[in-house]
């Protein structure tokens, strides 16, 4: 079973920041928080991951709470192409973590013009 909880859907206006929450209250100390997204009829795309510090890359920012029980993915300036299903996944690193990847239902983010 997926160990994360995400809202099933969200809407955001184009150009605004999209903030996608994820609860992972049972996360273990050696588990990372990964975010992927899947645009319709495509394979999932890696976005970002983190352990306990906030992370930022060219796509997004990841804010992890101090107790690590929840996190927020931030798309700073959402565009129509960001419309997708976003998956928050907790996993250990390495091959074991990759094999144990469990995709929940994710959040269907719709960016509106």
41 binds another protein (CB under 8 A): yes
The whole-angstrom separation of Cα 95 and Cα 99 is 6
Contact of 32 with 24, CB cutoff 8 Å:
no
43 binds another protein (CB under 8 A): yes
Q: Which is nearer to another protein, 37 or 68 (CB)?
A: 37
Q: Taking the CA of residue 35 as centre, how many other CA atoms within 13 Å lie in the half-sphere pointing to its CB?
A: 30
Interface stretch with another protein, choices 6-14, 18-26, 44-52, 72-80 (CB under 8 A): 44-52
The whole-angstrom separation of Cα 45 and Cα 29 is 25
x/- track of binding to another protein for residues 62-101 (CB under 8 A): -------------------------x---xxxxx-xxx-x
C-alpha radius of gyration, the chain, whole number: 13
Partners of residue 20 on adjacent β-strands: 73
Using the rule CB under 8 A, which residue among 46, 54, 69, 79 binds another protein? 46
Using the rule CB under 8 A, which residue among 72, 74, 104, 110 binds another protein? 104
Neighbours of 54 (CB within 10 A): 13
Give contact residues for another protein (rule: CB under 8 A).
Answer: 32, 36, 41-46, 87, 91-95, 97-99, 101, 103-106
């Amino acid at each position: 079973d997926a160990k994360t909880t995400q809202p099933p859907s969200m809407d955001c206006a184009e150009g605004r920041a999209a903030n996608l929450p994820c609860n992972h209250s049972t996360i273990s100390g050696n588990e990372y928080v990964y975010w992927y997204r899947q645009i319709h009829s495509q394979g999932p795309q890696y976005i970002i991951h983190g352990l306990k510090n906030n992370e930022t890359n060219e796509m997004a920012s990841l804010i992890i709470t101090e107790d690590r029980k929840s996190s927020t993915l931030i798309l700073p300036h959402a565009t129509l192409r960001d419309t997708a299903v976003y998956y928050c996944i907790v996993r250990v690193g390495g091959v074991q973590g990759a094999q144990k990847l469990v995709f929940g239902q994710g959040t269907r983010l719709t960016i509106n013009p």
